[in-house]
Amino acid sequence: MIVILSKGISSHDKEMVRAFLKERGFGIREQILGDDEVIGASGKGSVDIQELTLLPGVERVAATSKPYELASRETKTEDTIVTVGDPASGTAVKIGGSRITIIAGPCAVESREQIFETAAQVRESGAVLLRGGAYKPRTSPYAFQGLGMQGLEYMKAAGEAQGMPIVTEVVSSELAVQMKDLTDMFQIGARNMQNFELLKKVGALGKPVLLKRGPSATIEEWLLSAEYLLASGTRNVVLCERGIRTFETYTRNTLDISAIPVVKRLSHLPVIVDPSHAVGIRAMVSSAGLAAVAAGADGLTVEVHLHPDSALSDGPQSLYPSQFERLMRDIEALAPVVGKELLRTPRPQTGSASAAGAPVGAAKGVRADGGGTQAAGEPPAAFSGESGAFAEQALMRAFGEDAPRLSCPSFAAMFDAVLDGSAGFGVVPVENSLAGSIHENYDLFLRYPDITVVGELKLRIVHCLIAWESAGLDSIIEVRSHSQGFAQCQDFLKKYDWVLEPYYNTAAAVASLLKEPEEHKSKVAAIAGEAAAIAHGLKVLKAGIETNPLNYTRFVIIARKNEDGRAPVPPSLGQGKPNKASLVFSVPDKPGALFSCLKIMSDRGINLSKLESRPIQGKPWQYQFYVDLNLPETEEDFSAVLEALKAETEDFYFLGVYRGSL
Enumerate residues 6+ apart whose C-beta is below 8 A from 644: 600
Helix or strand (DSSP H, E) at 325: helix 321-334
Q: Is the dihedral of CA 116, 121, 127, 128 positive or negative?
A: positive
What is the CA angle 207-210-214, rounded to 5? 135
What DSSP line would sit under 533-582, residue for residue?
A: HHHHT-EEEEE--SS-S--EEEEEEEEE--TTS-EEE-GGG-SS---EEE
User: Rounded CA gap, 371 and 357, in Å?
Assistant: 9
Q: Give the C-alpha separation, 427 to 435, whole Å.
A: 19
Helical pair 411-420 and 439-447, crossing angle rounded to 10 deg = 30
Question: Does 118 participate in catalysis according to the annotation?
Answer: no
Q: Are strands 425-432 and 381-384 parallel, antiparallel or unpaired?
A: parallel
Report how far residue 490's alpha carbon sits from residue 352's, in angstroms, rounded to the nearest whole number.
52
Residue in 553, 585, 638, 649 annotated catalytic: 553
Q: How many CB atoms lie within 10 A of CB 196?
A: 13
Q: Hey, what amino acid is at 291? A: A
Which of 67, 59, 140, 155 has its CA nearest to residue 107?
Answer: 155
Sign of CA dihedral 525, 528, 534, 539: positive
Is 553 assigned a catalytic role?
A: yes
Given 555, 585, 625, 654, the catalytic residue: 555
Q: Give yes or no for a contact between 638 and 360, defined as CB atoms under 8 angstroms apart.
A: yes
Rg value, the chain, Cα: 27
How many residues does the structure list for the chain? 662
Those residues whose C-beta lies under 8 Å from the C-beta of residue 315, and which sit 6 or more positions away, are 305, 308, 309
Helix (H, G, I), strand (E, B) or coil at 6: coil
Q: How far is CA 547 from CA 291, 491, 493, 495, in A?
A: 26, 6, 10, 12
What does the alpha-carbon distance between residue 662 and residue 552 come to, in Å, rounded to a whole number?
12
What's the rounded Cα separation, in Å, for the pair 288 and 215?
A: 17
Residues 454/573, Cβ–Cβ less than 8 Å: yes
* 3-class DSSP state of 136: coil
79: closest CA among 254, 294, 296?
A: 296
Q: Phi and psi of 62, rounded to 5°?
A: -110, 105
Distance in angstroms (rounded) separating the CA atoms of residues 433 and 488: 9
529 contacts 462 by C-beta, under 8 angstroms: yes
Q: CA 335 to CA 539: how far, in whole Å?
A: 27
Task: Round to the nearest angstrom and report the end-to-end CA distance of the chain.
Answer: 46
Q: Who contacts 102 (Cβ-Cβ below 8 Å, separation ≥6)?
A: 126, 127, 128, 129, 299, 300, 301, 302, 328, 331, 342, 343
| Active site members | 553, 555
